Chain A
Amino acid sequence: MRTPTGWIFGTALAVVLAAGAPPATAEEGIYVPLLTYRTGNFAGSGTPIANGMRDYLEMLNQRDGGIGGVKLIIEECETGYDTKKGVECYESTKGKNPVVHNPYSTGLTLQLIPRASVDKIPLLTMAYGLSAAADGRVFPWTFNPPLTYWDGASVFVRFVAEKEGGVDKLKGKTIGLVHLDAPFGREPIPVMEELAKRYGFNLKLYPVPAQSMQDQASTWLAIRRDRVDWIYNQGWGAMNPTAVKEAVRTNFPIDKLVGVWWAGGDDDARAGGADAKGYRTLSFHGAGTSYPAMQDILKYVYDRNLAVGDRAKVGENLYSRGVYNSALIAEAIRTAQQVTGKKVVTGEDVRRGLESMNISDDRWKEMGFEGFAAPVNISCDDHSGHNRVFIAQWDGSKFVRGSDYIEPMKDLVRPMIESAAKDYAEKNAGWPKRTEACDGRS
């Protein structure tokens, strides 16, 4: 039997050992924290993304021993899609030399944007966050490839015009924006308003408070009253399956309901059952497990029991989104290694890597993703790239490609982004002027 002295000694020893254990240093690998949410009210959307992000990086570790021979240290921090907890996650991980942060919440992104430049950790807000951050001259530390919410809204309108038989046919039509009443949901409003002015359609806004996510009866009744022709759904979490169900319930033509890419979860459409067939969503990557890289994930992560997710869900739309996100992380790190000549890169190096990132069709193919996504091209000035997206359509059991790639209206969006970025810098007194050098390929 142990004596109390033994206990005390043992505990003291454990404390000393724990305190003396070296922290994860740069020599051991490249530290990539993932701020994810597998719990809370938005876990439905957060979990598949978290799985996709984690699995791809884990696969690189298993298959290639990391990137450029340096192992990736992957650490998830649970935010519960709560901005406050997200900031805690950021603070608790920033001391471990993270090379990039993925906030996975627009609310959290808004909190972290001012910190990124101070802490010298780039923010990769893949197709979310502040649209204005696409102006790299004002926001050197924030990146939102492959496109912004504003680009997305413009693609939606372009798609509607195509279906209606030309932009001149938009005049007099009523287009509704159903959106979560939160910073994320309100993002596309300025562009939609501008497009309504330009093309003469009526824009109707339908905010859905987070508390009413599952009870959208009034919203959809108002849509019926306003005789809305097309709807763009900027929703997230439980709001999406409810919107799809309500559309079905109120006999709204389901193929005229188009979701932003975050409203494109398989679970979102599945909730509507067979009636949801025809539901559309924007997307910028393929789905399914046919890509060699996805096969590698199955082989190196699932076959080795290193995954936390469900094997059957590999290749679903939001899972693939997480994989896409991690592919960008990996490519940024690889580019940073090339640009700096270093193996073990820092946050500052990865910022340069992101600004020099150019994933061509050939590069996607090399990565095992032939045909998975359109080329992604970022420059020092343009941190989103305004890249193309396509429309995915629910066929009753999965999302399939429902259109060719569509270009965002860069001519409209870019000046708006520049002016919004200028506004942001003016409103936040003391916003630092960009001093970071550009590596030239801009």
Chain B
Amino acid sequence: MTSLDSAQGGVFNLKLGTGAWVLIGFALVAVVTALAVQAGALTRGDALYAVLVDPFVQMADMPDLLIQTLWDGFVAGMLYALIALGFVLIFKASGVFNFAQGIMVVFAALTLVGLHEFGFNAWIALALTLGVMFALAVAVERVVLRPLVNQPDIILFMATIGLTYALIGLGEFIFGGSPKVMITEELFLPRGSIDLKVFGGFVSLQKLDIAAAVIAFVMIAVLSAFFQYTRIGRALRAVADSHKAALSVGISLEQIWVIVWFTAGVVALITGIMWGARSDVSFALQIIALKALPVLILGGFTSVPGAIVGGLIIGIGEKVGEFYWGPLLGKGIEAWLAYMIALTFLLFRPQGLFGEKIIERI
């Protein structure tokens, strides 16, 4: 073992140690709080009581709402994971943060609904939309990426900003700014809810949410398998490491890029359908993409499992935080709470949960 290796081992141990200390810290706070409540030092009305005790009392008193919160967080988390996946795929293949992912969601959803309004059957509209997303992928590769091979990543990033505005303009030109209603019924997405009676209350599981979770799960599983176990997946990872090296072993950059952008387009379409069904289909949907940022910070930009676990942690974390601690801070905290959660994790794992640890030997 070299001295460098042992030094890394030391860093690793130290990290584990930090995590353990954090856990011990939480446990200590819990014990001290419990003792303080027992001794009557912490009572209802104290600020500390409101932060440290009351939320847990609420959880115990109304377990149905806790389950509902966790469920809502889970569904949101799966959907965040799906959006994050769109970013991760493109980042892996071209090393670029795709600023246009949000508008791709809008564009895909608008195309679907627009084609349906135009008179196409919902399923034909869906197939045509996939065609449009493929054409978009080819166009992006031809017009944006190919001329920029081997340019610094920041140039590619700027190009995706340009692409965003081009797509906004194109979308507004074709579809106008009016909101549209997502064609959920035509796509046989279920309506209504299943109400489960638990602990004297009820938990309402929306069938649409169940479908969203299942579809997101299947998508993520298929994509992970595709990129993990197929030849194209290996080629993708090679491209991610180095454009030059990949080219030198005969991997077609163009082909990989088209595949990846098309896949991101498919992810965008599914994201658009799911979020469009929960709200409406308008340009405001692009805000949804922002929800993926903390997930990416947390899960790392290059990891598919990171996107999933990160999505779930952010989804559940922000819903639980908003529901139980939000009222103490005037509510509406989930927008920034997601970033706080992500940054807290980064303190202990700077490369993200599943991000690649970059070790540069000097």
Instruction: Tell me if B335 is interfacial: C-beta within 8 Å of chain A.
Output: yes
Interface core residue of A242, A267, A271 (most chain B CB under 10 Å): A271
Interface core residue of A39, A215, A251 (most chain B CB under 10 Å): A215
Query: Are A221 and B323 closer than 8 Å at their CB atoms?
Result: yes
Given the interface contacts A44-B282, A250-B204, A271-B181, does A218 sit within 8 Å of B323 by beta carbon?
yes
Instruction: Tell me if B334 is interfacial: C-beta within 8 Å of chain A.
Output: yes
Which residues of A (114-145) have their CB < 8 Å from a CB of B?
Answer: none
- Chain B 284-321: CB-based contact to A (< 8 A → 1; otherwise 0): 11111011000000000000000000000000001100
Note all chain B residues with C-beta closer than 8 A to A212.
Answer: 332, 334-335
Residue of B with least CB distance to A44:
B179
Note all chain A residues with C-beta closer than 8 A to B322.
Answer: 218, 222
A86–B179 CA distance with the chains assembled, in angstroms: 22
Query: Are A213 and B204 closer than 8 Å at their CB atoms?
Result: no
Give which listed residue, B75, B204, B284, B286, contacts A237 with CB less than 8 A: B284
Query: Are A251 and B204 closer than 8 Å at their CB atoms?
Result: yes
A249–B290 CA distance with the chains assembled, in angstroms: 24
Given the interface contacts A206-B331, A215-B291, A270-B181, does A41 sit within 8 Å of B283 by beta carbon?
yes
Query: Are B177 and A38 closer than 8 Å at their CB atoms?
Result: yes
Query: Are B332 and A214 closer than 8 Å at their CB atoms?
Result: no
Number of interface residues of A (CB under 8 A): 42
Instruction: Tell me if A73 is interfacial: C-beta within 8 Å of chain B.
Output: no
Note all chain A residues with C-beta closer than 8 A to B275.
Answer: 214
Note all chain A residues with C-beta closer than 8 A to B172.
Answer: 38-39, 43
Instruction: Tell me if A238 is interfacial: C-beta within 8 Å of chain B.
Output: yes
Which residues of A (191-216) have their CB < 8 Å from a CB of B?
Answer: 205-215
Query: Are B330 and A207 closer than 8 Å at their CB atoms?
Result: yes
Q: How far is the CB of B281 from chain A (nearest CB, A)?
A: 9
Instruction: Tell me if B279 is interfacial: C-beta within 8 Å of chain A.
Output: yes
Note all chain A residues with C-beta closer than 8 A to B204.
Answer: 249-251
- Chain A 53-97: CB-based contact to B (< 8 A → 1; otherwise 0): 000000000000000000000000000000000000000000000
A20–B254 CA distance with the chains assembled, in angstroms: 52
Query: Are A217 and B65 closer than 8 Å at their CB atoms?
Result: no
Instruction: Tell me if A101 is interfacial: C-beta within 8 Å of chain B.
Output: no
Question: Chain B interface secondary structure, helix, strand, loop or mixed?
Answer: helix
Note all chain A residues with C-beta closer than 8 A to B319.
Answer: 217-218, 221
Note all chain B residues with C-beta closer than 8 A to A217.
Answer: 72, 75-76, 319
Residue of B with least CB distance to A241:
B280
Query: Are A222 and B326 closer than 8 Å at their CB atoms?
Result: yes
Instruction: Tell me if B151 is interfacial: C-beta within 8 Å of chain A.
Output: no
Q: How far is the CB of B4 from chain A (nearest CB, A)?
A: 44
Q: How far is the CB of A320 from chain B (nearest CB, A)?
A: 16
Query: Are A181 and B287 closer than 8 Å at their CB atoms?
Result: no
Instruction: Tell me if B178 is interfacial: C-beta within 8 Å of chain A.
Output: yes
Instruction: Tell me if B193 is interfacial: C-beta within 8 Å of chain A.
Output: yes
Residue of B with least CB distance to A265:
B179
Note all chain B residues with C-beta closer than 8 A to A250.
Answer: 204
Query: Are A222 and B280 closer than 8 Å at their CB atoms?
Result: no
Which residues of B (195-217) have their CB < 8 Å from a CB of A?
Answer: 204, 206
Give which listed residue, A42, A224, A271, contacts B279 with CB less than 8 A: A271
Give which listed residue, B193, B278, B283, contacts A43 with CB less than 8 A: B283
Query: Are B330 and A47 closer than 8 Å at their CB atoms?
Result: no
Q: How far is the CB of A174 from chain B (nearest CB, A)?
A: 14
Not counting A210-B287, A221-B319, a sample of 15 additional A-B residue pairs whose C-beta atoms are within 8 angstroms of each other reads A40-B283, A41-B287, A205-B331, A213-B284, A214-B278, A215-B288, A221-B68, A222-B323, A222-B327, A225-B65, A238-B279, A241-B280, A242-B279, A242-B280, A245-B279
The 5 closest A-B pairs by CB, nearest first: A43-B177, A44-B179, A207-B332, A238-B284, A214-B279
25 sample A-B contacts, Cβ–Cβ < 8 Å, listed by A number: A38-B172, A41-B284, A41-B287, A42-B284, A43-B177, A43-B178, A43-B283, A47-B176, A207-B330, A208-B332, A211-B290, A214-B275, A215-B278, A218-B322, A221-B72, A221-B319, A221-B323, A222-B327, A224-B68, A225-B62, A225-B65, A238-B285, A267-B181, A270-B181, A271-B181
